[in-house]
Amino acid sequence: MNHYQTFYDLHHREHPLVIANVWNARSAQIIEKVGFDAIATSSGAIADSLGYKDGEHIPFAELLYMVQRIKAVTSIPLSIDMERGYSDNLKILNQHIQQIIDTGAVGINLEDNQGEDIFLRKLHAIRNYLQQTNQQLFINARTDVILMKRPNPVETIIVRAGLYKDAGADGLFVTGVQDTETIKEIVSAISLPLNVVGVSKLSSVPLLATCGVKRISMAGILYSVGYRKVEGLVTGIKAENSLVGLY
């Protein structure tokens, strides 16, 4: 079984895929070592680790290099946070997709915060390109309707889920959701496997499983928590004039 099929199947089993979001080769190695089934990148974490703001401020070439290094030292399925694709030009977008596939990655996240119409054009373009080139890539369609505080968010999400599936999406990633009732309402109305972030109010994997969630992400939270601990360590060293906190 190839990595794409393994990754696809992880979204269609009884219990959710818990996926850790990494930012460099070392973090990815640790995630694989402790036994996670797959790895995903966090665009925000990678950008921040290199001194860029989130939101496609990092040049695609630098993102691609990080992906290549992550893939070079890991052996489990890898999915890439592509933000909005790093281009609105569909030809360039598909060039980016091919470069991601060439690294050995088997999935991407793609955001719809530019609006439904341009997102659908991008989805159609990617799916058509994959079909024409006889390649496979798991497309996790990210919708930011709740995060952006749009009116009637659940209704909009459900409509978009149907449109995105028809356009070639393999999964639906809903950001900003904070309660189980909303998750259950979405799950009951869509056919794509649902991905949410395991925020503090929704940190229980068994609870999210009972709601029908199929993929649980950590987004940039793992990165942020790790660096807060580093900051705490060096703050203590400076304040106490001692390195004892390291040991």
CB 108 within 8 A of CB 61: no
CB 104 within 8 A of CB 135: no
Helix (H) or strand (E) holding 81: strand 78-81
Measured distance CA(160)–CA(2) in Å, rounded: 30
| CATH at 111 | 3.20.20.60
Per residue in 166-179, pLDDT (tens digit) is 999 999 999 999 99
Helices (H), the chain: 3-10, 25-34, 43-49, 60-72, 90-103, 116-133, 153-167, 180-189, 205-210, 221-240
Per residue in 115-158, pLDDT (tens digit) is 999 999 999 999 999 999 999 999 999 999 999 999 999 999 99
Structure-block tokens of residue 86: 């790093």
- Residue 88 has phi, psi (to 5 degrees) of -95, -5
What residues have CB less than 8 Å from 123, skipping those under 6 apart?
Answer: 110, 139, 141, 164, 167, 168, 169
CB 173 within 8 A of CB 156: no
Measured distance CA(143)–CA(171) in Å, rounded: 11
**Per-residue pLDDT, 153:** 96
Measured distance CA(1)–CA(6) in Å, rounded: 7
CB 213 within 8 A of CB 232: no
Note down the domain range covering 80: 3-246
Structure-block tokens of residue 34: 């402790």
Per residue in 71-109, pLDDT (tens digit) is 999 999 999 999 999 999 999 999 999 999 999 999 999
Per residue in 2-59, pLDDT (tens digit) is 999 999 999 999 999 999 999 999 999 999 999 999 999 999 999 999 999 999 999 9
Domain count, the chain: 1
